[in-house]
Structure 1
Amino acid sequence: MFGFINIQRLALATCLALSFGSVSAADLDPKAISIKLPEDIKWVANPGGSESAVLVGDPSKPGLYVVLNKWKAHHNSKPHSHPNDRFITVISGTWWVGTGTDYNPDNLKPVPAGSFVTHYGNEVHYDGAKDEDTILQIVGIGPATSTPAK
């Protein structure tokens, strides 16, 4: 029914699965993959109630960058713009966003975790967090600058 050859294959497959199951991250080829665990990510405090962690690139220089931004609860930016499009994923919490030069935190709209937002270059917006910290992943092309709205 099952046969001796099939039993041998099953035994071999089980041994291989058990031996590969014990492979750790230390066994990965660093030329093939890089992993930063949460405790390895360096957060830097910014003025205005946020923190950031650069994951890839350098936002102050030309080229691609990926940054985590953590808005602390009860902190918002004032109206501003960026020269290039920015692509933002809400990782956790609720992000609150508004547009235009008239800053009115009562008009902020909620963007829940899992959402994707595009901030278009040179368009005025403001954003932040209300009752909870919010973590965003921001992808863009540098240099990433911010210009206050007039």
Structure 2
Amino acid sequence: MLRTRIRPQLSLPALAVALSFAYGSAAAVELDPKAISIKLPDQINWVANPSGSESAVLVGDPNKPGLYVVLNKWKAHHNSKPHSHPNDRFITVISGTWWVGTGTDYDPEHLQPVSAGSFVTHYGNEIHYDGAKDEDTILQIVGIGPATSTPAPAK
């Protein structure tokens, strides 16, 4: 028994019209600003820091008590010195490779790489240092403020 499939034929102009209606109706929908807020990359306000990084506050205020979410961009060839924060911080590596170390002895030759997509917890009051080597690295940091930084005691 011979079976044949019937395929509807859609001309190229008809396909273009159908797609434009589908796209046009989807693009015309207005989102309710009470339900959702979107910041596009060019709307994120990056601020330079003396450490060779830039930061952008997305939610909250890291200088005040409460939840905050910031983006941190380590510029290539910049690292922090050993320090600690009073509260746990939860970090996702968004892009690049982040380089981390622990302890009071600053040793940039033995930093450990953390690749994009990784999740790291910095525990409160524990000493660490971090930064970027040959490429810029972007991190998302979530924590409870105030997000102060205390330099490690000198040896």
What is the TM-score of this pair, normalised by structure 1?
Answer: 0.86
Q: Which residue of 2 aligns with 1:87?
A: 90
1:49-60 mapped onto 2 (5 Å cutoff): 49-60=52-63
* CA deviations over 1:9-67 (Å, ceiling 9, x no partner): xxxxx89x82542335xx11110000000000000000110000000000000000000
The aligned amino acid for 2:101 is: G
Q: Which runs of 4+ in 1 moved over 6 A?
A: none
1:107 aligns with 2:119: no
Correspondence for 2:41: 38
Question: How far apart are residue 107 of structure 1 and its match?
Answer: 1.0
Distance 2:112 2:146 in 1: 28
Distance of 1:23 and 1:107 partners within structure 2: 53
Query: Who wins on radius of gyration, i.e. which is larger?
Result: 2
Local SS of the residue matching 2:126: coil
Task: Give the Cα separation in 2 of the matches to 1:130 and 1:23.
Answer: 44
- Among residues 50, 59, 70, which one is paired with 1:67 in the alignment? 70
Match of 1:119 in 2: 122
Matched residues, number: 134
- The CA distance in 1 between the partners of 2:143 and 2:28, in whole Å, is 35
Amino acid in structure 2 at the alignment position of 1:129: A
Superposed CA deviations along residues 59-99 of structure 1, whole A, max 9, x for unmatched, are: 00000000000000000000000000000000000000000
Percent identity over paired residues:
83
State the alpha-carbon separation in 2 of the partners of residues 89 and 136 from structure 1: 6
Unaligned runs of 5+ in 2: 1-17
RMSD, matched Cα: 1.5
Q: Distance in 1 between matches of 2:43 and 2:146?
A: 25
Report the counterpart of residue 21 of structure 1 in structure 2. 26
Q: Any idea what SS the aligned residue of 2:148 has?
A: coil
